[in-house]
Structure 1
Amino acid sequence: MKLAESYRQMRLEVSQFLTSRQTQKAKKLVLGQNVNDGLLAKCIILALLTVIAFLYLKPLIYMVSTSMKSVPDLIDPTVGVIPRTIHIKNYIDGWIGLRYPEAFMNTLIIAFVGSILQVFSCAITGYALARLKFPGKNLFFFLILVTFLVPPQITLVPLYMVYSKLGLLNSPLVFLIPALFGQGMRGALFIIIFRQFFLSQPKALEEAAKMDGASVFRLFFRIMLPLASSACLVVFLFSFIWYWNMYYEPSMFLSKDFIPLSLRLSSFETELMGNWAINYSTAVGKDPISEGPKMAAAFLIIVPPLVVYLIAQRWFTEGIERTGMVD
């Protein structure tokens, strides 16, 4: 009997404790009013984001760490991420091996001018598909979707033959002319982005402008294009990054007369280290002597896009939210 009474008394005390105000506050703090606003949920989300961020940053950390290591640090297996001594000569070798100023200007011409032309042409095309009425509009949009779905490697050989007959090979015109007509790097995707943006705009703006006597071109350049500044920024940044990082297309269309950074990196080891480095790499399986300069050269290539993104990060995020684009 005493044991049963003690058990009931214990259950009563536990029930009173669980229903007390302090316990409810602690439970609300840990679990939250909803599922995702409690302390436990925030800790789980923070842990997941930390793991994901580490997975994304790990290659960059390895690149920066290796680019600052000397030959003894590269050979020594006991040296981890932090090198014993900072070896800046790797960046000097990377600068010289890439011929950085010349290759940088070549890449900048393709990426910047191509992106500007692509924003202009894709905006006009997207506006026409969204707002104007003309015969075959749905057919044109279907063809754009088809070009978006077809892998670009399939069209490289026909494009090479066309550019060869036109005399455009080994010059940046092989990228700038298609960008002028909305057929640049991922041009179909950018046309779809602009089309969806212009479809979301109210028709009252166009009706009011047409009542005031505005033509189609004036309506586009004075009203619709300024409203699409967020979409223009998103398209420009994506186009700039893709032009900057492309390798396969320049390797097909460009030669030693006009070489961007991506092609310079591929031939960097041979030009900088010579045949001795290749023989050493073949014999050993991995060349620790050229690993540092190669990582330094790779880091020099990705620095400009990182700077551009860091400067335009806030507007880029706002642009994605306003265009409704999810990547």
Structure 2
Amino acid sequence: MNIFAKQSSIKPHIWMIVFGFIMLYPIIWWLGASLKSNEEMSSPNIFPDKWLWNNFSDGWNAMPNYSFAHFYMNNFQLMFGVIFASVISCSLVAFAFARLDFPLKKIWFGLMLMTLMLPNQVTLVPQYIMFGKFGWINTYMPFFVPHALAGGIGGSFFIYLLVQFIRSVPKELDESAKMDGCSWFSIYWRIVMPLTRPALVTVMLYCFLWNWDDFFGQLLYINSVEKYTVNLALKLFIDTSSTMPWGQMLAMSLVSIIPSVIIFFVAQRHFVDGIASGALKG
């Protein structure tokens, strides 16, 4: 009986290893291809006969006037502004929906939830025309301003998540603070914000990942190489008039996901806890 019990307990682990390898195979192939020369790209072997580690250094300095460090700095500059704007604006709106009473509150909240079902493609053209009239094309303003107004990528979702979390905070704390002379903004800043830290961390993580991977939005609004992000810099390797350095491009694309991978593994607990706590407490 013990033998059969051990065999039955081993089978799930075998299946997990098999499916884990299937899921990791594209990443393994990606790593192997980043070390290949153009001649070996068509080879069925995962890893090359000669490992070209210089693909990473050559790819890092492949652009004539800029290294990938410049594009990384543009990325982090964009991410810092977007995350800061989203956290402040979405938390303020969520606090208003969760704590304040104002006319047509339920209707406004319903309209906000309806935007979750609105595809981004529907608003692309009018937004581009509007930002063009404002003179914001080839700047980071089309990213900063919508997030500062609780919009942008994931804005409605962040508000809904924070509303559910703030509703779990006892209202008795608000009443005690009012008796001590606190305004609504003081209650928001000194009481609600510290208590909703898990949800705020979740908002920051999702905001970073979703905006880091937003290739189309960055392609639409940013035109000059000087302001390119890492995502846009990768397309500079595509040159129809010469041989494309596949190894260098794959090496830099592998480097481009490092921040997302690090953040995910460091803060993976918050991805689940932030969503689960908001849903359960709401």
Which band: TM-score by shorter chain? 0.7 to 0.9
| Residues 1:220 and 2:185 are matched in the alignment | no
| Residues 1:118 and 2:86 are matched in the alignment | yes
Q: How does 1:171-320 map to 2 (within 5 A)?
A: 171-256=139-224, 257-270=226-239, 275-277=241-243, 290-320=245-275
Q: Is the 8 A contact 2:29 2:47 kept in 1?
A: no
Q: Any unmatched runs of 5+ in structure 2? A: none
Which residue of structure 2 aligns with residue 16 of structure 1?
none
C-alpha distance in structure 2 between counterparts of 1:44 and 1:124, whole Å:
50
Which residue of structure 1 aligns with residue 28 of structure 2?
61
**Cα distance change of structure 1 residues 234 and 44 upon mapping to structure 2, 3 Å threshold:** farther
| Residues 1:108 and 2:76 are matched in the alignment | yes
Q: How does 1:61-100 map to 2 (within 5 A)?
A: 61-71=28-38, 73-77=40-44, 80-97=45-62, 99-100=67-68
**Cα distance change of structure 1 residues 52 and 200 upon mapping to structure 2, 3 Å threshold:** farther
| Residues 1:147 and 2:115 are matched in the alignment | yes
Q: Say which SS state the counterpart of residue 267 (structure 1) adopts.
A: helix
**Cα distance change of structure 1 residues 132 and 50 upon mapping to structure 2, 3 Å threshold:** farther
Deviations along 1:271-314, whole A, 9 cap, x unmatched?
Answer: xxx61226xxxxxxxxxxx3322210111111122223333334
Deviations along 1:174-215, whole A, 9 cap, x unmatched?
Answer: 101111111121111111110111122222222322233322
C-alpha distance in structure 2 between counterparts of 1:228 and 1:185, whole Å:
21
- Paired letter, 2:109: F
| Structure with the greater alpha carbon radius of gyration | 1
- Paired letter, 2:263: V
- Paired letter, 1:266: K
TM-score of the aligned structures, taking structure 1 as reference length? 0.77
TM-score of the aligned structures, taking structure 2 as reference length? 0.88
Q: Any unmatched runs of 5+ in structure 1? A: 1-22, 31-37, 279-289
C-alpha distance in structure 2 between counterparts of 1:211 and 1:48, whole Å:
60
The alpha carbon displacement at 1:59 in A equals 2.0
- Paired letter, 2:266: I
Q: Which has the higher contact order (CA 8 A, sep 6+)?
A: 2
**Cα distance change of structure 1 residues 240 and 83 upon mapping to structure 2, 3 Å threshold:** same
- Paired letter, 1:150: L
Which residue of structure 2 aligns with residue 34 of structure 1?
none
**Cα distance change of structure 1 residues 118 and 44 upon mapping to structure 2, 3 Å threshold:** farther
**Cα distance change of structure 1 residues 103 and 224 upon mapping to structure 2, 3 Å threshold:** same
C-alpha distance in structure 1 between counterparts of 2:157 and 2:179, whole Å:
33
Aligned length in residues: 276
C-alpha distance in structure 2 between counterparts of 1:44 and 1:193, whole Å:
39
C-alpha distance in structure 2 between counterparts of 1:52 and 1:115, whole Å:
35
**Cα distance change of structure 1 residues 47 and 131 upon mapping to structure 2, 3 Å threshold:** farther
- Paired letter, 2:47: I
C-alpha distance in structure 2 between counterparts of 1:211 and 1:177, whole Å:
36
**Cα distance change of structure 1 residues 95 and 136 upon mapping to structure 2, 3 Å threshold:** same
C-alpha distance in structure 2 between counterparts of 1:196 and 1:39, whole Å:
45
Q: Is the 8 A contact 1:111 1:241 kept in 2?
A: no
Which residue of structure 2 aligns with residue 46 of structure 1?
13
The alpha carbon displacement at 1:123 in A equals 1.0
The alpha carbon displacement at 1:96 in A equals 2.2
Q: Is the 8 A contact 1:230 1:320 kept in 2?
A: no
The alpha carbon displacement at 1:319 in A equals 3.3
C-alpha distance in structure 2 between counterparts of 1:208 and 1:105, whole Å:
45
